[in-house]
Protein backbone atom coordinates (compact mmCIF):
# COMPACT_ATOMS: atom_id res chain seq x y z
CA UNK A 1 0.00 0.00 0.00
CA UNK A 2 2.35 2.75 1.26
CA UNK A 3 4.92 3.20 4.01
CA UNK A 4 3.72 4.71 7.25
CA UNK A 5 6.29 5.59 9.87
CA UNK A 6 4.36 6.82 12.89
CA UNK A 7 7.38 6.83 15.19
CA UNK A 8 9.30 9.20 12.92
CA UNK A 9 6.36 11.59 12.81
CA UNK A 10 5.86 11.39 16.55
CA UNK A 11 9.48 12.29 17.22
CA UNK A 12 8.95 15.56 15.35
CA UNK A 13 6.14 16.56 17.71
CA UNK A 14 6.09 17.71 21.30
CA UNK A 15 5.53 15.13 24.02
CA UNK A 16 1.82 14.22 24.01
CA UNK A 17 -0.22 14.80 27.13
CA UNK A 18 -2.55 11.84 26.96
CA UNK A 19 -3.84 8.88 24.91
CA UNK A 20 -5.88 11.03 22.54
CA UNK A 21 -2.83 13.10 21.62
CA UNK A 22 -0.88 9.86 21.10
CA UNK A 23 -3.57 8.48 18.79
CA UNK A 24 -3.79 11.72 16.85
CA UNK A 25 -0.01 12.00 16.48
CA UNK A 26 0.38 8.35 15.50
CA UNK A 27 -2.22 8.83 12.78
CA UNK A 28 -0.56 11.95 11.36
CA UNK A 29 1.48 10.04 8.71
CA UNK A 30 -1.82 8.86 7.22
CA UNK A 31 -3.01 12.47 7.01
CA UNK A 32 0.28 13.42 5.38
CA UNK A 33 -0.31 10.68 2.80
CA UNK A 34 -3.81 12.02 2.14
CA UNK A 35 -2.36 15.47 1.51
CA UNK A 36 0.27 14.03 -0.80
CA UNK A 37 -2.41 12.32 -2.90
CA UNK A 38 -4.85 15.24 -2.81
CA UNK A 39 -2.78 18.37 -3.28
CA UNK A 40 -0.69 19.55 -6.23
CA UNK A 41 1.55 22.62 -6.51
CA UNK A 42 0.48 25.16 -9.12
CA UNK A 43 -2.03 24.43 -11.88
CA UNK A 44 -3.49 21.00 -12.49
CA UNK A 45 -2.33 19.40 -15.74
CA UNK A 46 -3.33 16.05 -17.17
CA UNK A 47 -5.08 13.11 -15.59
CA UNK A 48 -3.88 11.02 -12.68
CA UNK A 49 -5.30 8.41 -10.36
CA UNK A 50 -4.44 10.08 -7.06
CA UNK A 51 -8.01 10.97 -6.11
CA UNK A 52 -9.27 7.47 -6.81
CA UNK A 53 -6.47 6.07 -4.64
CA UNK A 54 -7.35 8.53 -1.88
CA UNK A 55 -11.08 7.80 -1.94
CA UNK A 56 -10.43 4.07 -1.91
CA UNK A 57 -7.68 4.23 0.70
CA UNK A 58 -8.09 1.96 3.73
CA UNK A 59 -8.35 4.32 6.69
CA UNK A 60 -9.09 1.41 9.02
CA UNK A 61 -5.93 -0.44 8.02
CA UNK A 62 -3.92 2.71 8.64
CA UNK A 63 -5.37 3.10 12.15
CA UNK A 64 -4.58 -0.51 13.00
CA UNK A 65 -1.05 -0.20 11.64
CA UNK A 66 -0.20 3.15 13.19
CA UNK A 67 -1.97 3.32 16.53
CA UNK A 68 -0.92 0.79 19.20
CA UNK A 69 -3.62 -1.71 20.07
CA UNK A 70 -3.53 -0.65 23.73
CA UNK A 71 -4.42 2.93 22.74
CA UNK A 72 -7.13 1.84 20.31
CA UNK A 73 -8.66 -0.50 22.89
CA UNK A 74 -8.61 2.08 25.70
CA UNK A 75 -10.35 4.66 23.49
CA UNK A 76 -12.61 2.23 21.64
CA UNK A 77 -11.09 3.22 18.27
CA UNK A 78 -12.66 0.72 15.89
CA UNK A 79 -13.31 2.32 12.49
CA UNK A 80 -16.42 1.23 10.63
CA UNK A 81 -15.60 -1.29 7.91
CA UNK A 82 -16.81 -0.85 4.34
CA UNK A 83 -19.43 -3.60 4.62
CA UNK A 84 -21.18 -2.00 7.59
CA UNK A 85 -20.76 1.55 6.27
CA UNK A 86 -22.29 0.59 2.92
CA UNK A 87 -25.16 -1.22 4.64
CA UNK A 88 -25.96 1.87 6.70
CA UNK A 89 -25.72 4.13 3.63
CA UNK A 90 -28.17 1.88 1.74
CA UNK A 91 -30.62 2.00 4.63
CA UNK A 92 -30.53 5.82 4.46
CA UNK A 93 -30.95 6.08 0.67
CA UNK A 94 -34.23 8.00 0.93
CA UNK A 95 -32.74 10.52 3.36
CA UNK A 96 -29.68 10.89 1.12
CA UNK A 97 -31.80 11.55 -1.97
CA UNK A 98 -33.70 14.25 -0.04
CA UNK A 99 -30.39 15.98 0.87
CA UNK A 100 -30.92 15.43 4.59
CA UNK A 101 -28.11 16.51 6.91
CA UNK A 102 -25.87 13.92 8.62
CA UNK A 103 -23.80 14.11 11.80
CA UNK A 104 -21.38 11.52 13.21
CA UNK A 105 -20.59 12.06 16.93
CA UNK A 106 -17.48 9.83 16.80
CA UNK A 107 -16.50 10.29 13.18
CA UNK A 108 -13.01 8.74 13.18
CA UNK A 109 -11.59 9.13 9.69
CA UNK A 110 -15.07 9.54 8.22
CA UNK A 111 -15.92 6.07 6.91
CA UNK A 112 -19.66 6.43 7.61
CA UNK A 113 -19.94 9.96 6.23
CA UNK A 114 -17.90 9.02 3.17
CA UNK A 115 -20.21 6.08 2.41
CA UNK A 116 -23.17 8.48 2.52
CA UNK A 117 -21.41 11.15 0.43
CA UNK A 118 -20.68 8.65 -2.35
CA UNK A 119 -24.34 8.87 -3.40
CA UNK A 120 -25.16 12.34 -2.06
CA UNK A 121 -26.52 14.75 -4.72
CA UNK A 122 -24.01 17.00 -6.48
CA UNK A 123 -24.33 20.65 -7.49
CA UNK A 124 -23.24 22.18 -10.79
CA UNK A 125 -19.60 22.55 -9.83
CA UNK A 126 -17.27 21.28 -7.14
CA UNK A 127 -17.24 24.53 -5.16
CA UNK A 128 -21.02 24.62 -4.87
CA UNK A 129 -21.05 20.92 -3.96
CA UNK A 130 -18.53 21.48 -1.17
CA UNK A 131 -20.46 24.50 0.10
CA UNK A 132 -23.55 22.29 0.47
CA UNK A 133 -21.62 19.35 1.93
CA UNK A 134 -20.02 21.69 4.44
CA UNK A 135 -23.49 22.50 5.78
CA UNK A 136 -24.98 19.02 5.41
CA UNK A 137 -22.16 16.97 6.96
CA UNK A 138 -20.78 17.33 10.46
CA UNK A 139 -18.92 15.33 13.04
CA UNK A 140 -16.95 15.23 16.23
CA UNK A 141 -13.94 13.28 17.45
CA UNK A 142 -11.39 13.59 20.23
CA UNK A 143 -8.53 13.09 17.78
CA UNK A 144 -7.59 16.07 15.61
CA UNK A 145 -5.94 13.93 12.91
CA UNK A 146 -9.14 11.93 12.49
CA UNK A 147 -11.27 15.04 11.92
CA UNK A 148 -8.80 16.44 9.39
CA UNK A 149 -8.70 13.11 7.57
CA UNK A 150 -12.51 13.14 7.32
CA UNK A 151 -12.53 16.60 5.74
CA UNK A 152 -9.76 15.72 3.28
CA UNK A 153 -11.50 12.54 2.19
CA UNK A 154 -14.81 14.37 1.63
CA UNK A 155 -13.02 17.01 -0.48
CA UNK A 156 -11.28 14.30 -2.50
CA UNK A 157 -14.57 12.49 -3.08
CA UNK A 158 -16.28 15.67 -4.30
CA UNK A 159 -13.42 16.34 -6.76
CA UNK A 160 -13.46 12.75 -7.97
CA UNK A 161 -17.24 12.70 -8.49
CA UNK A 162 -17.01 15.91 -10.51
CA UNK A 163 -14.36 14.30 -12.74
CA UNK A 164 -11.64 16.67 -11.59
CA UNK A 165 -7.99 16.08 -10.81
CA UNK A 166 -5.96 16.99 -7.75
CA UNK A 167 -6.61 20.09 -5.64
CA UNK A 168 -4.37 23.15 -6.13
CA UNK A 169 -2.47 23.77 -2.89
CA UNK A 170 -3.51 27.40 -2.62
CA UNK A 171 -7.22 26.40 -2.74
CA UNK A 172 -7.16 23.65 -0.10
CA UNK A 173 -7.53 25.87 2.97
CA UNK A 174 -10.62 27.49 1.52
CA UNK A 175 -12.24 24.11 0.94
CA UNK A 176 -11.37 22.91 4.44
CA UNK A 177 -12.92 26.06 5.92
CA UNK A 178 -16.25 25.17 4.32
CA UNK A 179 -16.62 22.25 6.76
CA UNK A 180 -17.60 24.31 9.79
CA UNK A 181 -19.82 21.61 11.33
CA UNK A 182 -16.89 19.48 12.52
CA UNK A 183 -15.39 19.79 15.99
CA UNK A 184 -12.42 18.30 17.82
CA UNK A 185 -13.56 17.40 21.32
CA UNK A 186 -15.58 15.13 23.58
CA UNK A 187 -19.09 14.64 22.21
CA UNK A 188 -20.39 13.62 25.64
CA UNK A 189 -19.52 17.07 26.96
CA UNK A 190 -21.19 18.94 24.10
CA UNK A 191 -24.59 19.53 22.54
CA UNK A 192 -23.40 18.95 18.99
CA UNK A 193 -25.55 17.35 16.31
CA UNK A 194 -28.97 18.08 17.77
CA UNK A 195 -30.13 20.12 14.75
CA UNK A 196 -29.14 17.59 12.07
CA UNK A 197 -31.75 15.44 10.33
CA UNK A 198 -29.86 12.17 10.82
CA UNK A 199 -27.21 10.88 13.21
CA UNK A 200 -24.96 8.04 12.06
CA UNK A 201 -22.76 6.56 14.74
CA UNK A 202 -20.21 3.90 15.49
CA UNK A 203 -19.57 4.98 19.10
CA UNK A 204 -16.66 3.69 21.19
CA UNK A 205 -17.19 0.12 22.44
CA UNK A 206 -15.15 0.47 25.62
CA UNK A 207 -16.30 0.80 29.23
CA UNK A 208 -16.41 4.01 31.23
CA UNK A 209 -17.35 4.93 34.78
CA UNK A 210 -21.04 5.83 34.85
CA UNK A 211 -21.51 9.62 34.63
CA UNK A 212 -23.31 11.33 37.50
CA UNK A 213 -27.09 11.16 37.22
CA UNK A 214 -27.20 8.13 34.92
CA UNK A 215 -30.26 6.14 35.99
CA UNK A 216 -29.99 3.00 33.85
CA UNK A 217 -26.60 1.68 35.01
CA UNK A 218 -24.00 1.90 37.74
CA UNK A 219 -20.27 1.33 38.15
CA UNK A 220 -18.63 0.77 34.78
CA UNK A 221 -20.85 0.59 31.72
CA UNK A 222 -20.76 0.46 27.92
CA UNK A 223 -19.63 3.79 26.51
CA UNK A 224 -21.69 3.09 23.37
CA UNK A 225 -24.84 2.99 25.50
CA UNK A 226 -23.94 6.35 27.06
CA UNK A 227 -23.42 7.83 23.57
CA UNK A 228 -26.84 6.70 22.37
CA UNK A 229 -28.56 8.02 25.50
CA UNK A 230 -26.81 11.38 25.02
CA UNK A 231 -27.81 11.57 21.35
CA UNK A 232 -31.46 10.99 22.22
CA UNK A 233 -31.46 13.40 25.14
CA UNK A 234 -30.52 16.35 22.91
CA UNK A 235 -32.19 15.20 19.68
CA UNK A 236 -34.85 17.24 17.95
CA UNK A 237 -38.25 15.72 17.23
CA UNK A 238 -38.16 13.17 14.39
CA UNK A 239 -34.38 13.11 14.22
CA UNK A 240 -33.26 9.74 12.89
CA UNK A 241 -30.43 7.76 14.48
CA UNK A 242 -28.66 4.81 12.85
CA UNK A 243 -25.89 3.23 14.90
CA UNK A 244 -23.67 0.15 14.95
CA UNK A 245 -23.56 -1.13 18.54
CA UNK A 246 -22.07 -4.02 20.55
CA UNK A 247 -24.52 -6.90 20.89
CA UNK A 248 -24.43 -6.77 24.69
CA UNK A 249 -26.67 -3.67 24.53
CA UNK A 250 -29.26 -5.68 22.61
CA UNK A 251 -29.12 -8.87 24.64
CA UNK A 252 -27.34 -8.30 27.94
CA UNK A 253 -29.44 -8.60 31.10
CA UNK A 254 -27.57 -5.67 32.61
CA UNK A 255 -28.76 -3.33 29.84
CA UNK A 256 -32.48 -4.03 30.09
CA UNK A 257 -33.06 -0.61 31.69
CA UNK A 258 -31.14 0.98 28.83
CA UNK A 259 -33.41 -0.77 26.31
CA UNK A 260 -36.55 0.35 28.15
CA UNK A 261 -35.22 3.92 28.13
CA UNK A 262 -34.65 3.76 24.38
CA UNK A 263 -38.15 2.40 23.82
CA UNK A 264 -39.69 5.24 25.80
CA UNK A 265 -37.90 7.90 23.76
CA UNK A 266 -38.12 6.55 20.23
CA UNK A 267 -39.78 4.52 17.57
CA UNK A 268 -37.57 1.59 16.61
CA UNK A 269 -37.46 1.57 12.81
CA UNK A 270 -35.26 -1.48 12.32
CA UNK A 271 -32.78 -3.77 14.03
CA UNK A 272 -30.29 -5.85 12.09
CA UNK A 273 -28.15 -8.45 13.88
CA UNK A 274 -25.03 -8.02 11.78
CA UNK A 275 -22.54 -10.45 13.34
CA UNK A 276 -18.84 -9.95 13.96
CA UNK A 277 -17.68 -6.33 13.64
CA UNK A 278 -14.58 -7.17 11.59
CA UNK A 279 -11.87 -9.78 11.16
CA UNK A 280 -9.62 -7.89 13.57
CA UNK A 281 -12.30 -6.96 16.15
CA UNK A 282 -13.92 -9.98 17.78
CA UNK A 283 -17.12 -8.23 18.89
CA UNK A 284 -20.56 -9.03 17.50
CA UNK A 285 -22.67 -6.01 16.66
CA UNK A 286 -26.14 -4.99 15.57
CA UNK A 287 -27.33 -2.01 13.52
CA UNK A 288 -30.12 -0.05 15.19
CA UNK A 289 -32.26 2.56 13.46
CA UNK A 290 -34.46 4.83 15.59
CA UNK A 291 -36.55 7.96 15.32
CA UNK A 292 -36.83 10.37 18.23
CA UNK A 293 -40.54 10.89 18.90
CA UNK A 294 -40.77 11.97 22.58
CA UNK A 295 -43.60 9.54 23.28
CA UNK A 296 -43.41 8.39 26.87
CA UNK A 297 -44.30 4.78 27.64
CA UNK A 298 -44.04 3.78 24.01
CA UNK A 299 -45.63 0.29 23.91
CA UNK A 300 -42.70 -1.45 22.25
CA UNK A 301 -41.92 -4.98 23.30
CA UNK A 302 -38.79 -7.02 23.72
CA UNK A 303 -39.23 -8.77 20.35
CA UNK A 304 -37.93 -5.54 18.83
CA UNK A 305 -34.53 -6.35 20.35
CA UNK A 306 -34.46 -10.07 19.65
CA UNK A 307 -35.60 -11.77 16.45
CA UNK A 308 -38.75 -13.83 16.84
CA UNK A 309 -37.86 -17.20 18.34
CA UNK A 310 -39.82 -20.25 17.23
CA UNK A 311 -40.34 -22.91 19.88
CA UNK A 312 -38.83 -26.27 19.03
CA UNK A 313 -42.19 -27.90 19.72
CA UNK A 314 -45.70 -26.80 20.64
CA UNK A 315 -45.08 -28.48 24.01
CA UNK A 316 -41.80 -26.79 24.82
CA UNK A 317 -41.11 -25.12 28.15
CA UNK A 318 -38.24 -23.04 29.47
CA UNK A 319 -35.20 -24.94 30.68
CA UNK A 320 -35.70 -23.34 34.11
CA UNK A 321 -38.89 -25.40 34.51
CA UNK A 322 -36.76 -28.48 35.22
CA UNK A 323 -33.33 -27.02 36.07
CA UNK A 324 -31.92 -24.40 38.39
CA UNK A 325 -29.35 -22.25 36.61
CA UNK A 326 -26.49 -20.85 38.68
CA UNK A 327 -23.01 -19.41 38.20
CA UNK A 328 -20.20 -21.45 39.75
CA UNK A 329 -19.34 -19.73 43.05
CA UNK A 330 -15.56 -20.30 43.16
CA UNK A 331 -13.51 -17.24 42.15
CA UNK A 332 -9.99 -18.71 41.82
CA UNK A 333 -8.00 -15.61 42.77
CA UNK A 334 -10.07 -15.14 45.92
CA UNK A 335 -9.41 -18.57 47.35
CA UNK A 336 -7.88 -18.26 50.83
CA UNK A 337 -7.34 -21.94 51.62
CA UNK A 338 -10.11 -21.95 54.24
CA UNK A 339 -13.22 -24.12 54.35
CA UNK A 340 -13.97 -27.77 53.71
CA UNK A 341 -12.03 -29.95 51.29
CA UNK A 342 -14.02 -30.69 48.12
CA UNK A 343 -13.49 -31.80 44.50
CA UNK A 344 -12.88 -28.75 42.31
CA UNK A 345 -14.48 -28.48 38.87
CA UNK A 346 -13.07 -25.96 36.38
CA UNK A 347 -13.49 -25.18 32.68
CA UNK A 348 -10.20 -27.00 32.09
CA UNK A 349 -11.08 -30.31 33.77
CA UNK A 350 -14.70 -30.60 32.56
CA UNK A 351 -14.51 -32.56 29.26
CA UNK A 352 -16.85 -31.42 26.48
CA UNK A 353 -19.99 -33.55 26.08
CA UNK A 354 -18.58 -36.11 28.51
CA UNK A 355 -18.73 -37.23 32.12
CA UNK A 356 -16.35 -35.52 34.52
CA UNK A 357 -13.62 -37.84 35.81
CA UNK A 358 -11.49 -37.58 38.96
CA UNK A 359 -11.07 -34.01 40.22
CA UNK A 360 -8.41 -32.26 42.31
CA UNK A 361 -9.46 -30.89 45.69
CA UNK A 362 -9.49 -27.42 47.21
CA UNK A 363 -10.61 -25.91 50.49
CA UNK A 364 -13.67 -23.75 49.95
CA UNK A 365 -16.07 -22.14 52.41
CA UNK A 366 -18.80 -21.25 49.88
CA UNK A 367 -21.70 -23.17 48.31
CA UNK A 368 -21.00 -26.74 47.15
CA UNK A 369 -23.23 -28.62 44.70
CA UNK A 370 -24.42 -32.21 44.95
CA UNK A 371 -24.35 -34.28 41.74
CA UNK A 372 -25.88 -35.04 39.37
CA UNK A 373 -25.78 -31.78 37.43
CA UNK A 374 -24.62 -30.39 34.10
CA UNK A 375 -22.14 -27.54 33.65
CA UNK A 376 -21.74 -25.31 30.60
CA UNK A 377 -18.75 -23.09 29.84
CA UNK A 378 -19.66 -19.42 30.28
CA UNK A 379 -17.62 -18.24 27.30
CA UNK A 380 -18.37 -19.12 23.69
CA UNK A 381 -18.56 -17.47 20.29
CA UNK A 382 -21.32 -17.42 17.65
CA UNK A 383 -18.70 -18.79 15.26
CA UNK A 384 -18.16 -21.89 17.43
CA UNK A 385 -19.68 -25.15 16.25
CA UNK A 386 -21.49 -25.42 19.59
CA UNK A 387 -22.52 -22.34 21.59
CA UNK A 388 -23.22 -24.54 24.61
CA UNK A 389 -20.50 -27.00 25.62
CA UNK A 390 -21.79 -29.15 28.50
CA UNK A 391 -20.21 -31.68 30.85
CA UNK A 392 -21.97 -34.10 33.20
CA UNK A 393 -21.05 -34.35 36.88
CA UNK A 394 -21.94 -37.60 38.66
CA UNK A 395 -21.06 -39.07 42.02
CA UNK A 396 -21.92 -38.69 45.69
CA UNK A 397 -19.51 -35.95 46.81
CA UNK A 398 -20.30 -32.24 47.02
CA UNK A 399 -18.40 -30.30 44.34
CA UNK A 400 -16.89 -26.80 44.26
CA UNK A 401 -17.53 -25.22 40.84
CA UNK A 402 -15.43 -22.48 39.23
CA UNK A 403 -17.17 -19.24 38.21
CA UNK A 404 -16.25 -19.81 34.54
CA UNK A 405 -18.95 -22.49 34.47
CA UNK A 406 -22.74 -22.28 34.57
CA UNK A 407 -24.48 -24.97 36.65
CA UNK A 408 -27.67 -26.63 35.39
CA UNK A 409 -29.00 -28.65 38.31
CA UNK A 410 -32.17 -30.76 37.90
CA UNK A 411 -34.78 -29.65 40.40
CA UNK A 412 -35.69 -33.26 41.22
CA UNK A 413 -32.12 -34.61 41.24
CA UNK A 414 -32.73 -36.78 38.17
CA UNK A 415 -29.66 -38.14 36.39
CA UNK A 416 -31.84 -39.07 33.42
CA UNK A 417 -32.87 -35.44 32.97
CA UNK A 418 -29.18 -34.50 32.91
CA UNK A 419 -28.52 -37.05 30.18
CA UNK A 420 -31.43 -35.77 28.11
CA UNK A 421 -30.21 -32.21 28.51
CA UNK A 422 -26.67 -33.14 27.43
CA UNK A 423 -28.14 -34.58 24.25
CA UNK A 424 -30.45 -31.64 23.56
CA UNK A 425 -27.84 -28.90 24.09
CA UNK A 426 -25.76 -30.09 21.15
CA UNK A 427 -28.59 -29.75 18.58
CA UNK A 428 -28.44 -27.11 15.85
CA UNK A 429 -31.82 -25.74 16.91
CA UNK A 430 -30.46 -24.87 20.35
CA UNK A 431 -27.37 -23.33 18.69
CA UNK A 432 -29.56 -21.15 16.47
CA UNK A 433 -31.78 -20.16 19.40
CA UNK A 434 -28.87 -18.99 21.53
CA UNK A 435 -27.33 -17.04 18.65
CA UNK A 436 -30.66 -15.33 18.00
CA UNK A 437 -30.98 -14.31 21.64
CA UNK A 438 -27.39 -13.25 22.30
CA UNK A 439 -24.18 -13.05 20.32
CA UNK A 440 -22.16 -11.93 23.34
CA UNK A 441 -19.12 -14.01 24.21
CA UNK A 442 -20.26 -14.44 27.83
CA UNK A 443 -23.39 -16.49 28.38
CA UNK A 444 -25.78 -15.47 31.14
CA UNK A 445 -27.98 -17.47 33.48
CA UNK A 446 -31.05 -15.85 31.89
CA UNK A 447 -30.05 -16.94 28.39
CA UNK A 448 -29.79 -20.56 29.53
CA UNK A 449 -32.86 -20.43 31.75
CA UNK A 450 -35.01 -19.24 28.82
CA UNK A 451 -33.96 -21.99 26.39
CA UNK A 452 -36.92 -23.96 25.05
CA UNK A 453 -36.75 -27.69 25.75
CA UNK A 454 -39.25 -30.42 24.90
CA UNK A 455 -41.44 -30.92 27.94
CA UNK A 456 -42.78 -34.42 27.23
CA UNK A 457 -39.30 -35.97 27.26
CA UNK A 458 -38.48 -34.60 30.69
CA UNK A 459 -41.91 -35.33 32.16
CA UNK A 460 -41.36 -39.01 31.39
CA UNK A 461 -38.12 -39.13 33.42
CA UNK A 462 -38.16 -40.90 36.74
CA UNK A 463 -35.82 -40.32 39.68
DSSP code string of 392-460: EE-SSS-BEEBTTEEEEEETT--HHHHHHHHHHHTSHHHHHHHHHH---SB--HHHHHT-EEEHHHHHT
- Domain-located, residue 178: no
0.85 exceeded by the pTM?
A: no
If one counts the domains in the chain, the total is: 3
- Domain-located, residue 182: no
- Degrees, nearest 5: CA angle 34-35-36: 90
Q: What is the CATH number of the domain that holds 453?
A: 3.90.220.20
Does the pLDDT at position 228 exceed 50? yes
* Predicted confidence band of residue 253 (pLDDT cuts 50, 70, 90): confident
- Domain-located, residue 180: no
Q: Does residue 301 share a domain with residue 336? A: no
163: left (phi over 0), alpha (psi -120 to 50) or beta: left
3 state SS of 291: strand
Q: Does residue 34 share a domain with residue 115? A: yes
Q: Does residue 386 share a domain with residue 280? A: no
* Predicted confidence band of residue 17 (pLDDT cuts 50, 70, 90): low
Q: Does residue 448 share a domain with residue 379? A: yes
Ranges 11-20, 203-212, 214-223, 340-349: which has the least confidence: 11-20
Exposed e or buried b for every residue in 186-225, given b needs 16+ CB within 10 A?
ebbeeebbeebbbbbbbbbbbebebeeeeebbeeebbbbb
Does the pLDDT at position 193 exceed 90? yes
* Predicted confidence band of residue 99 (pLDDT cuts 50, 70, 90): very high
Q: Does residue 348 share a domain with residue 258? A: no
Q: Give the other-Cβ count within 10 Å of 303's Cβ.
A: 10
Q: What is the mean pLDDT of residues 387-407?
A: 95
Give me the chain's average pLDDT, please: 87
Angstrom distance (rounded) from CA 22 to CA 27 = 8
Q: If we measure between CA atoms, which residue out of 57, 159, 160, 180 comes closest to residue 109?
A: 57
Does the pLDDT at position 316 exceed 90? no
| Residues facing 265 on adjacent strands | none
- Domain-located, residue 31: yes
Does the pLDDT at position 460 exceed 80? no
Instruction: Quote the domain boundaries for residue 16.
Output: 1-72+82-136+143-172
List all residues 6 or more positions away from 126 whose beta carbon is below 8 Å from its beta carbon.
158, 159, 162, 164
Relative orientation angle of helices 19-38 and 144-161, to the nearest 10 degrees: 20
Q: Does residue 152 share a domain with residue 18? A: yes
- N- to C-terminal Cα separation, the chain: 67
Q: What is the CATH number of the domain that holds 211?
A: 3.40.50.150
Amino acid sequence: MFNLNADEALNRLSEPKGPHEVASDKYSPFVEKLLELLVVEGSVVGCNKSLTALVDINATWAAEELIPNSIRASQGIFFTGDKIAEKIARSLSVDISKCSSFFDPSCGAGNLLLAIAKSYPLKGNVLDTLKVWGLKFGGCDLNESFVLATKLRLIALAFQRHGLYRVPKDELEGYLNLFKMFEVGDYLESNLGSDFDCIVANPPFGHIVVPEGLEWSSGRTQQAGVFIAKILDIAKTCQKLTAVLPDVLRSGTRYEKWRRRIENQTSILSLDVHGRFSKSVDVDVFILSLMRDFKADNPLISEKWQPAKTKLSSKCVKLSTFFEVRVGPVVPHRLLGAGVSAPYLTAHNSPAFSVVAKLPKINFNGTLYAPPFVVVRRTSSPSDKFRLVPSLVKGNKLVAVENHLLILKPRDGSLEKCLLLMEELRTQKINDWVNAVSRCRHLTTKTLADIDIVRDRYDQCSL
